[in-house]
Amino acid sequence: MNMTLIGTTLAALLTIAVYSFLYKDNPFYKFAEHLVVGVSAGYYLVIYYYNFIDPTVVSPVFRLRIGGDAILLGGVDWWMALIPGLLGLILYARFFPKIGWVSRWALGIYVGGYSGLGIAPVMQARVLDQIRGGALPVHALHTGQGWTNLLLVVGLLGTLTYFFFSLKHKGVLGGLARIGIVFIMVGFGASFGYTVMSRVSLLIGRMNFLLHDWLRIV
């Protein structure tokens, strides 16, 4: 028995163990669940170390210093790596109740920094591009494209109105919001069907693995 067959058989048995959850919770599912959670936690620990901690902190500060090369991170001095390293370390301050509050600094810098960096791209992608895409010609109603544009503009304005929280949805505002939710639900329906199709293809993939790669009966 070669290693490939052993690996395929193990993967097949784990697949069946996971599918057994469809009947009810059972020891086989529990085993598969705990195995994948444990393995993935260990896997990600290694991935994070080699992809983030090592190249951004450990190598610049320790290894390359010993080797005499003080420059890394695209020309940034090695000591610059100490800043994110220190911020990462102080996250662990929470394990010491007296200085636990220090960990909030790191969280604050992380959240604030990312939020600030995200503002301009979000403004461009979600507001400006929407405005540009929404200002469509709706006067040529003798053509199919004119009606399509009109439908898009009405749907867009209705949807924006639905997500307006500063006034009660009554009167004209309520009417527009109602149109908006209809468009939203139509969109959800289309998205649901599309995604279910892709999930069915995943199921076919697993069935193919079990019946073809493992059992070789199809």
Binding site for another protein (CB under 8 A): 18, 21, 24-25, 29-30, 32-33, 36-37, 39-41, 43-44, 91, 94, 103-104, 107, 110-111, 114-115, 118-120, 123-124, 127-132, 134-139, 153, 156-157, 160-161, 163-169, 184-185, 187-189, 191-192, 195, 199
User: 17: closest CA among 210, 199, 196?
Assistant: 210
Which residue, 66 or 119, is less far from another protein as judged by CB? 119
What is the closest distance, in whole angstroms, from the C-beta atom of residue 157 to another protein in the complex? 6
Q: How many CA atoms lie within 13 A of 186 on its CB side?
A: 11
Which residue, 172 or 217, is less far from another protein as judged by CB? 172
Which residue, 170 or 216, is less far from another protein as judged by CB? 170
> What residues have CB less than 8 Å from 99, skipping those under 6 apart?
93
Helix, strand and coil percent figures for the chain, each rounded to 5: 80, 0, 15
Beta-bridge partners for 71: 77
What CA–CA distance (Å, rounded) separates 5 from 12?
10
What is the closest distance, in whole angstroms, from the C-beta atom of residue 36 to another protein in the complex? 4
Which residue, 7 or 187, is less far from another protein as judged by CB? 187
What is the closest distance, in whole angstroms, from the C-beta atom of residue 13 to another protein in the complex? 16
What is the closest distance, in whole angstroms, from the C-beta atom of residue 43 to another protein in the complex? 7
What is the closest distance, in whole angstroms, from the C-beta atom of residue 70 to another protein in the complex? 26
Which residue, 65 or 94, is less far from another protein as judged by CB? 94
User: 157: closest CA among 125, 190, 135, 188?
Assistant: 135
Strands (E), 37-107: 71-72, 76-77
